[in-house]
């Protein structure tokens, strides 16, 4: 039995790669996970609430604000500008986390 090895050109492999890497943050047990996320400008972060309690995603500087997310609800925000974005749950302000955009 003969095997043929197919070689894809490097440009084809690069074209298949996503232009940006989105991030997902889960909300569970009254915590954001991961609590610290680093992304590039233009990336989108999606938060998904896996708790039986509602939670929000609210930036301290007012850059973004979700509605109350019930269990299995999600919220996404595209970060266009570099910086550090601290956020909390406005219902449970002890829940804190940070997005760093490079």
pTM of the model: 0.79
Per-residue pLDDT of 77-99, as tens digits, reads 999 999 999 999 999 999 999 99
Which residues pair with residue 45 across a beta bridge?
23, 77
Q: Report whether 49 contacts 55 (CB < 8 A).
A: yes
Q: Superfamily assignment of 20-101 in CATH?
A: Cupredoxins -  blue copper proteins (2.60.40.420)
Per-residue pLDDT of 4-62, as tens digits, reads 555 445 444 444 444 446 999 999 999 999 999 999 999 999 999 999 999 999 999 99
Rounded to a whole number of angstroms, the distance between the first and last alpha carbons of the chain is 51
d(CA 49, CA 55): 7
């Amino acid at each position: 039995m003969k095997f043929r090895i197919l070689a894809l050109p490097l440009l084809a492999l690069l074209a298949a790669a996503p232009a940006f890497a989105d991030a997902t943050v889960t909300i569970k047990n009254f915590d954001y996970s991961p609590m610290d996320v680093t992304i590039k400008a233009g990336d989108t972060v999606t938060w998904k609430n896996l708790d039986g309690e509602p939670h929000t995603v609210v930036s301290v500087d007012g850059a973004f604000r979700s509605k109350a997310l019930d269990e299995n609800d999600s919220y996404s925000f595209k970060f266009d500008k570099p910086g550090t974005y601290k956020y909390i749950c406005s219902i449970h302000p002890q829940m804190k986390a940070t997005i760093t955009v490079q």
